[in-house]
Amino acid sequence: MSSEVFALCEIKFGFLQPRPLFDGQEIYDSSIWQANRLKEFVLRLGLGRKCDSEAKDLEMEQLDESTKGNGKGPITRYQACVNLPSIARYSQSGQLSQDFTAEFETYTKPNTTELQLQRLASTVTDCLSSTCRHSRRPDLCYDNLCSPVRLLTTSSSPNVTAIDQCLKTLCSGGFNSLPFADADIVGIGVYASYILQCIFVAAFCIGSLLPLLWRFLHTKNFKRSKKSKSSERKISLLNEFHKAQCFFSITLMIASFTQNIYDTNMLITFMLVPLSTNGIVPIVFAYLLLVYNHKDHIGTTLYTLLTYVLASVVYWSLYAHVTSSSEDRPRLAYQQFMFKLSAIPACGEYSALAVCPHYPNTGLEEVYRASRRIRVLTPIIWTFSTIVLFVVLAYQTLRASPWRKEPEYTYQHPSQTNEGKPNPPEHEHNQAHEEQASPDKKPMGRTWRLSFIIMTAAMVACLGMQLSLLAIGKSLNMMNPHDWSFGQIIAITIWAPPIVEYVYKEFEVWQRRGGTAGSSNGDRK
């Protein structure tokens, strides 16, 4: 059973709790500490409080009084633990003074076993080796500097000089020392899927508005004409696409609740905030276009509302983390992002970069800009989208209200107004009557048309801001552009079914037209 001092160093870097960034100039000392540094050594380990191998939260009073807020705590604790095996071995071999040995053994049991020293040496070196191995450029550090063979003099003695060189390489490696973020959230295929979702909605908007704008500019007495069959197919495509994106976003929002969104974690915030707003902006925009084209129904409305509610809960839960009143908020965001991104199991789910004496400010400006973008743009996006959604719902409610007074519509048979012309088939009579009499098909009033134009302009602006948020994953170098794994390919093909169905229907129409043209030519002959 390890004594208190050994137990503290054997917690797989449980003592490397992330702290605010530091300004200290401390470096690692590879020499054996002399007797006059023993008290400092004890303070470095924080022996004023008992702990065991199951400890998860080591807040040492002696350290916190002097190092709280400057990040030296993890550095000094790691420095002490790296030197501990050498001190124990020198103490056992009698190479230290009797006073030093006596005082040292008040904190450690005499006759420390080889197994205890091996376990401690493994603890202080495994984390560094694993951090290098999981980085995006392990070739820069692992073979020559951070491999276990290099970091150990013997199985129970860390090579402090090699550890110092390994740390220097990791701490100066910038983004190359960091792993990529979770590919299930911000992988290249998933990222491309989010972008395509926004592009498709923008394309539907352009496809709906350009024909109307063309007729408005080139027709003196502009009147919204009856939709062509081609337009109906495009609206059906939008409807199917909207169902797909609702299902996709609902699934993502449910999965987001498993990512500890209620804990302060800027890495999760940077990854999931753009994802949550992507479950609002394209959804509301597509729903606006469906309502404008009279293609909405109760199922579509329920899908839209459920997606909006889930995405809003995720968004506001995460947004609370970036509205902290801390004066050092940008640097805390940077520290949280870098340390959480590089946290690995071999370091007790913490980051080995927490012990860098001089951690560089690589990516600091990018993190500042990303944090500012989230704080400023996302409330605007959410507010505009919410207003648009509730205005559209109000329009639907008024349109379907049984108390709303409407002018009476009378149906006239075409033979009564078009004398001498052949009567159309009966199903066309019924369709014309339904389109004329149904309140859902009645043209909008001038006020609502103007409102829809304004709301469309607002959603176009929100879509642009959303694309800016999605660019955070790229600006922070969180994704591997070459990692087209199984899941990434699935993510980017999720929009294929409605598009393939639309292409197939267009092909069928083209075939029928070709067949009809061929029959007509045959009849002429």
Chain segment 408-453, per-residue pLDDT in tens: 444 454 544 454 445 555 444 444 444 444 445 555 667 777 888 8
**377: confidence class by pLDDT, cuts 50, 70, 90:** very high
Q: Does any domain span residue 222?
A: no
Inside any domain, residue 379 = yes
Residues 80 and 129 in one domain: yes
Question: Are residues 205 and 296 located together in one domain of the fold?
Answer: yes
What pTM was computed for the model? 0.71
Asked if residue 132 has pLDDT above 50, the reply is: yes
Q: In this structure, are residues 310 and 253 in contact, taking their beta carbons and an 8 Å threshold?
A: yes
Per-residue DSSP letter, 142: I
pLDDT for 242: 92
Domain that holds residue 421: 407-441
Judgement on whether residues 157 and 50 belong to the same structural domain of the protein: yes
Q: Quick one: pLDDT band at residue 60, thresholds 50, 70, 90? A: very low
Percentage of the chain surpassing pLDDT 70? 64
As a whole number of angstroms, the distance between CA 266 and CA 263 comes to 9
Do 260 and 114 lie in one domain? The reply is no
Verify that 279 and 426 share a domain, yes or no.
Answer: no
Average pLDDT, the chain: 72
Number of structural domains, the chain? 3
Whether 135 contacts 179, CB under 8 Å = yes
Q: Evaluate whether residue 450 is within a structural domain.
A: yes
Q: What is the pLDDT of residues 266-325, one digit of tens each?
A: 888 888 999 999 999 999 999 999 988 887 788 889 999 999 999 999 999 999 877 754
Are residues 256 and 139 part of one domain? no
Of the candidates 18, 41, 4, the one whose C-alpha atom is nearest the C-alpha of residue 335 is 18
Q: Cα-flanking dihedrals φ and ψ of residue 91, to 5°?
A: -65, -40
One domain, residues 434 and 317: no
Report for 104-108, 261-265, 308-312: range of highest mean pLDDT? 308-312
Report whether pLDDT(373) > 50. yes
Are residues 163 and 110 both part of a single domain?
Answer: yes
Are both 243 and 329 inside the same structural domain?
Answer: yes
Give the confidence band of 71 by pLDDT, cuts at 50, 70, 90: low
Judge if 378 and 278 occupy the same domain: yes
**Shared domain check, 81 and 134:** yes
Residue 221 lies in a domain: no
Establish if 225 belongs to a structural domain: no
The three-class DSSP label of residue 152 is strand
Q: Is residue 523 part of a domain?
A: no
126 belongs to a structural domain: yes
| Contact criterion met (CB below 8 Å) for 43 and 93 | no
Same domain (yes/no): 162, 257: no
Residue 276 belongs to a domain:
yes
| Beta carbons of 472 and 274 less than 8 angstroms apart | yes
